[in-house]
Structure 1
Amino acid sequence: MDFISTISCLFFMKNEFLIFLALISILIPGCRTNPQLEPIETNKNKVEPPTISIHQAAYKGDAGMIIQHYNAGTNIDLKNQWNATPLHYAARSGKLDSVKALIAKGANVNAKNNSNVTPLHYAASGGSSEISILLIKNKANVNDQDSEGLTPVHRAAQGGHGDIIEILISNGAAVNTKNVAGLTALELAQPEAAKILKKFGAKSATKLGLLSEDAAKGNIEAIKEHLSSGSDVNGKDSLGRTPLYRAAYNGHKHVVKLLLDNKADVNTPDENGWSALHGASYRGHSVIVADLILWEANVNAKDVDGDTPLDWAKGKTNIIKLLRKNGAKTNAELKATEK
């Protein structure tokens, strides 16, 4: 075979080989002569996050959407511009299903927003007993204070939620914690909530002198507020004077009646031994003297000098007659009978 014939034969064989390779690449899947041109497959298992935010889902009670967010990689404790988490939103709106879903995925039950408010604060404010119990079971702090110093008990009291107060206290919540203004839950409580708090020994942080001052001024509405918030009706001021003494001395008969109706001790003396009856007799307030006697005031109570209300009623005929009618005697008369 000459040279030309040999070259032609080889060329033909090469072409046949190339055609063979082409057929093979078509007939056998996955076989490519240029693997670098193979398109990259996308991850068909990747979950796209929902269009609604996880905070909105939590607020609306959409537990399914919360799970979608979690599966898509959304932070379960994602904070918004107020540092509030989805659990804050769920507790605030009272959506138990949302709270359950978030806690199941590890949400922080003690997360605080910009105002140091926790999910339990919101649950207590809203009166959500089931949510409160669930949060507490998952170690929510029952005594956390927000930026105003309010605890969940304060917030439950403000909302009048006695059942929440009982839940919180039975799980270790303090009853008499003061907020930044120095007020306890009792002083912020609705009437029904106040009854529950008092059952657990709640006290008012209001200074006793304030009640004494209002009694002296006859400010009956302020006194009602003091009493409803748990102020001690027999609390003494710096001179040992009770609210009843100061009201009686200054002639505020309606305040005297209010205090007596609220179990004020009619015979408690001040540091000089003066009782409310001493003060009312000295100032000539006959109506108050009569009321005090009706409430079993001691008509012969003695001050530090041994003087009785009758001694201090000098020159006040009506008072003297009233006291005498009820067995009152002067200091001298009492001494004479003691001999």
Structure 2
Amino acid sequence: EGDEAGVRSALDRGARPEVTVPIDAGESWSLLTVAAFKGHEHLLSLLLQAGLSIEGGGTTDITPLMMAAQYGHAQTVKALLDLRGNPLAMDSRGRTALHFAALKGHQQCVAALLPVTPPTPAHLEAYTPVHLASYRGHVEVLEQLAGAGWPLTARDSDGNTPMHSAAAGGRVTCVQWLVQRGGDTSMQNNAGHTPLDKELVTAVKEGDEAGVRSALDRGARPEVTVPTNAGVSWSLLTVAASKGHEHLLSLLLQAGLSIEGGGTTDRTPLMMAAQNGHAHTVKALLDLRGNPLAMDSDGWTALHFAAWEGHQQCVAALLPVTPPTPAHLEAYTPVHAASYRGHVEVLEQLAGAGWPLTAKNSDGDTPMHCAAAGGRVTCVQWLVQRGGDTSMQNNAGLTPLDQELVTAVREGDEAGVRSALDRGARPEVTVPTNAGVSWSLLTVAASKGHEHLLSLLLQAGLSIEGGGTTDRTPLMMAAQNGHAHTVKALLDLRGNPLAMDSEGWTALHFAAWEGHQQCVAALLPVTPPTPAHLEAHTPVHVASYGGHVEVLEQLAGAGWPLTARDSDGDTPMHFAAAGGRVTCVQWLVQRGGDTSMQNNAGHTPLDQELVTAVEEGDEAGVRSALDRGARPEVTVPTNCWGVMESADCGCQQGPRAPAVSLTAGRVKHRRWRHH
């Protein structure tokens, strides 16, 4: 409230000036930032005397000076500058106080900041205050910035000049002003757009027909494409269709664009209109001869997208021109899509148009499988009422009821699990994974941290040690994913903590690898350092490679040796060095680790650090290792005729093991494979 007497009184009675204030954006501000935001310059000196920083605090990266500039408090800006607030400080997006003042058009704040914010190279390599003033149409601010030497043609990281920004903001007056001062209307940004192209793109996005006509009349190129967040580019017709601007379609087609779109996307304008529920645009595109049978790379037509989203009017418009041909029935049909999303009304439409309700996709899934996988009980019931077969199995051997059970387990839905089991779902089914192995449902539950399902699944007949084709137990999966409560529950249910996978890893290894301290704490009392565990790389090795010093403290406290060697002769210090974990190396040295100990390849930990730095192209790391005594003459053993890549080389051995015979290389390969 700017109550100076109140501030003094509260401070005198012990209020803490360092407290921060949470705001709606999820950040917190210091009290000095709050005062600057409100324009209470009379409080600044008092708060600074109380110990606050002129640069603010809390979790925000916006300084008090930025805040005052953004909200147009010119007197506060001047006061903060007098108190040595830093006008060159930048937030995480590279914006200074001058950027904020220019964005908002606060000319007095701009005037105060210009003498202390010169156009340095650091400020000119990104989005400048000139870009911001141009985008918002503040010609008066542009006059100020130009007068202070700020260039009017600087490019941001996307190659946009201020004229591009003005065009993107629809600021015609700014564009004209920049042209009068030598701006080049033909300059292209990284996407290949001139300012005039940018103006056209903005007009299309906003559905501004007059703006589109004006830009085209002045030479904007209708064939430019627009990059998207998905990494593909769209034609302007696709943009218009996705926005539902059907009034622009004929105009853009007359300008030479294709009804089927363009750019690098394989989705047509009709698909985009259908996906976004623009029924009038769908009808307009069909009237303009858009092809409803066109398919994207996944075999989806516009009808698929409409069915997926549940847009009934779009479905109604597309059904008469999208019959269930054999080509559409050999893959994922619109019926599958609607079933997975639970759109019963769309299913009614599709069934009425002759789309079969029992077609199988390439995985052997029927629409009922999809409905079950999506947890759409109403859809399953609807399909059963229309003759759907609940016993039909997909390629993985799952019935729709099995699929329902799998989905319920994945989501931790205990009621759903009970319901599926009560109706005959088979608990012994396994779930294929992306790694090419299959898991039992108990393993799935453990990996998700659903400890409340464990007893129920065990009562249904599953094994505490899992199943399927994986060699990982449920306990290992819970430990790897950091589910400490699930780890404890599995131990209480007699899960075996000493079980090992094919590479000799126990649940403790997985917990140590990921740095999950609570899981490590639960497993340590039941996983002693027995000889069997000490003949390979131990949990100490994997924690060292991951840089988990706190886990090393736990392991050492439980008696795990810090100098054990694996089959390649590597100690934990070799692992820490290979992982570039300097803190771990230092920790191990402080506890008696020997930096001169060689592995089977003749490498010391320091040599190992050097080898890793060379492999990764880390020049600073190479210099550091050499400066500390690493031997540059060490050699690196390879396999498969010296080829050092770990991908398939085309020889008859098949995909190779990691090429460099360093334990760290194998650990990394092992981790990739399992993930």
Q: TM-score, normalised by structure 2?
A: 0.24
Higher relative contact order (CA 8 A, sep 6+): 1
